[in-house]
Amino acid sequence: MSDKITKCIKVGLIGEPNVGKSTLVNQIVGEKVSIVTPKVQTTRTLVRGILNVDNTQLILIDTPGLFKPAKTLERYIVKNALAGIDDSEVICVLIDAKKGITPELNKIISNIKNKPLVAAINKIDLIKKDFLLGLAAAINELGVFKEIFMISALKNDGIKELINYLTGQAKISPLLYEEDIYTDTPVKNLAEEITREQLFLLLNKELPYSLKVETEKWEDLKNGDLKLHQAIMVLKSSHKSIVVGAAGQKIKEVGRRARLELQKALDRKVHLFLYVKVKEDWIERELV
């Protein structure tokens, strides 16, 4: 047994949809752990990115944005987000440099009790320095943050300082993950998210929340290729028609794009088979 002293810290990333949480996790961990999209609300599951620096393990929990729950699935997302907060020792609140302090941000802050908060102003590459300094002062005046960082998750600016601070807060503990693991999100879930992302992008507003991708079969072929069968579950047969599209064109294009993304993320050749299934009760079943 090794007698080296190890430390761990779990950090919850909180912020409005699209503020750059997934981008930051990917930048810190250096892999495509979280799905980044220009659309809001695509992260449904908690994603942990894990960084090992020296003898310290930094565990990032990328929560879906907190927002007013309206639909059943949204409530489910919020429940997940709150679970992520409970599990964290420090909360890093991401703030969009262009948007500044919004009512949603105030709501998010007031919802978190008894956890140290740090602020990370993200997307600083998009604004002028004067504006940034004014914003930082305004955030400081809120009086709730222990530290304020200015970062660009996309351009890898200011990230090192943030990592240094967070690892500096870690407490002595056995390592919670093996050192060669960078995420505990099962790769199947990642693959499902990739296909779901393409569905969202292609179907756009036609089917906002009511679909889900499930892995039916995952076969590692001898030549290293992956044979993957995924079911796209929808609530109504009319939704199935939308997903399939005229003469199957939509689903074919979704499959083509998802396959390319999967190959990039998994770094192997993928044979992807998509099926559309009507399952009226999947949302309800997930909630119980």
Contacting residues toward Mg ion, per CB under 5 A: 21-22, 43
| Calpha distance 24→201 (Å, rounded) | 21
Stretch that binds ligand GDP, among 21-29, 49-57, 79-87, 251-259 (CB under 6 A): 21-29
Q: Write the CA distances from 285 to 113, 183, 279, 281, integer angstroms.
A: 31, 27, 11, 6
Does 122 participate in binding ligand GDP (rule CB under 6 A)?
A: yes
Report strand pairing: 90-96 vs 270-278. Answer: unpaired
Question: Could you write out the DSSP letters of every residue in 161-230?
Answer: HHHHHHHHT-EE---SS-TT--B-S-HHHHHHHHHHHHHHHHHGGGSSSSEEEEEEEEEE-TTS-EEEEE
Instruction: Between 21 and 48, name the residue whose CB sits nearer to Mg ion.
Output: 21
Burial of 91 (0-12, 13-18, 19+ CB in 10 A): buried
Does 167 participate in binding ligand GDP (rule CB under 6 A)?
A: no
Say if residues 55 and 96 touch (Cβ distance below 8 Å): no
Residues 216-275 that bind ligand GDP (CB under 6 A): none
Does 154 participate in binding ligand GDP (rule CB under 6 A)?
A: yes
Given Mg ion, ligand GDP, none, residue 84, with its beta carbon under 5 to 8 Å by kind, binds none
Shortest Cβ distance from residue 42 to ligand GDP (Å)? 7
Shortest Cβ distance from residue 190 to Mg ion (Å)? 13
Shortest Cβ distance from residue 132 to ligand GDP (Å)? 12
CB atoms within 10 A of CB 84: 22
Q: Which of 19, 117, 163, 199 binds ligand GDP (CB under 6 A)?
A: 19
Q: Which of 20, 49, 84, 255 binds ligand GDP (CB under 6 A)?
A: 20
Shortest Cβ distance from residue 33 to ligand GDP (Å)? 11
Which positions lie near ligand GDP, rule CB under 6 A?
A: 15, 17-23, 36-38, 43, 122-123, 125-126, 152-154
